[in-house]
């Protein structure tokens, strides 16, 4: 079944999803330089002109892939969902999803690719940073700002507090990955580490008497 005939969704939305899905596979598998828009177009069931019209160029397609991944993660985390969860539960959900993503084989390869390409193309690295890490940081800062306003934490510099929390969650994981050293990716290990780290963070930033 072609993307044009899938029921229940507008054709343009289906085409966009198909292009992003195909591009994600190619970027993660072949890297930025190794990804060919002709191949992405074939796998997505569209023309290369359609990709150019929708995303501008390969760098724009990459930025859109990263943005889509970020939106998917935020939807899973549900940071801004009013569902009665406590601050601890919201932060733990954020941390578990974020660290699981950071430690995934796909992301490790993708991150290395962006690091190498960034030396030759700072604009590409900037696109990746703004579409991914910057947006996730902004989402976490927004939650901590809300917590500070509600008197749940005391943080003169909420952006710095967000850095502290991510550092607790992540530990030395990025250094292990950067130098291709083993690191425990077991979901139970990640969950336990995040829960302990969130508790330590909330104790450190607890409001004073």
The pLDDT value recorded for residue 2 is: 38
Domain of residue 21 covers 1-56
What's the structural domain count of the chain? 2
**Does 10 share its domain with 33?**
yes
**34 and 92 part of one domain:** no
pTM of the model: 0.73
Residue 7 lies in a domain: yes
> Is residue 193 one of the residues assigned to a domain?
yes
Is 209 domain-assigned?
no
Same domain, 84 and 159: yes
CATH code, 81: 1.10.357.10
Q: What is the pLDDT of residue 117?
A: 67
Say yes or no: 116 and 45 in one domain: no
Do 108 and 14 fall into the same domain? no
CA distances from 5 to 9, 38, 48, 54, 134 (A): 9, 22, 19, 19, 36
Question: Is 127 in the same domain as 79?
Answer: yes
Instruction: Give mean pLDDT in consecutive 10-residue pieces for the chain, a chain of 209 residues.
Output: 43 87 87 90 94 91 80 63 80 90 75 70 75 83 94 96 96 81 88 97 92
What's the pLDDT score for residue 3?
38
The answer on 23 and 80 residing in a single domain is: no
């Amino acid at each position: 079944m072609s993307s044009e005939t899938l029921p229940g969704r507008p054709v343009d939305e289906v085409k966009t999803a198909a292009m992003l899905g195909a591009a994600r596979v190619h970027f993660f598998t072949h890297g930025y330089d190794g990804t060919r828009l002709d191949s992405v177009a074939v796998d997505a069931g569209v023309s290369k002109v359609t990709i150019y019209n929708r995303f501008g160029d390969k760098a724009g397609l990459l930025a859109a892939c990263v943005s889509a991944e970020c939106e998917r993660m935020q939807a899973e985390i549900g940071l801004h969902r009013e569902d009665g969860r406590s601050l601890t539960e919201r932060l733990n959900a954020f941390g578990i999803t974020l660290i699981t993503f950071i430690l995934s084989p796909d992301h490790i390869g993708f991150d290395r690719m962006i690091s190498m390409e960034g030396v030759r193309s700072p604009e590409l690295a900037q696109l990746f940073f703004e579409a991914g890490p910057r947006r996730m940081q902004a989402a976490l800062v927004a939650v901590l700002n809300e917590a500070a306003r509600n008197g749940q934490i005391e943080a003169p510099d909420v952006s710095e507090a967000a850095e502290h929390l991510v550092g607790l969650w992540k530990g030395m994981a990025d250094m292990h990955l950067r130098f291709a050293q083993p690191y425990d990716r077991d979901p139970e290990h990640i969950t336990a580490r995040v829960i302990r780290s969130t508790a330590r963070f909330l104790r450190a930033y607890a409001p004073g008497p």
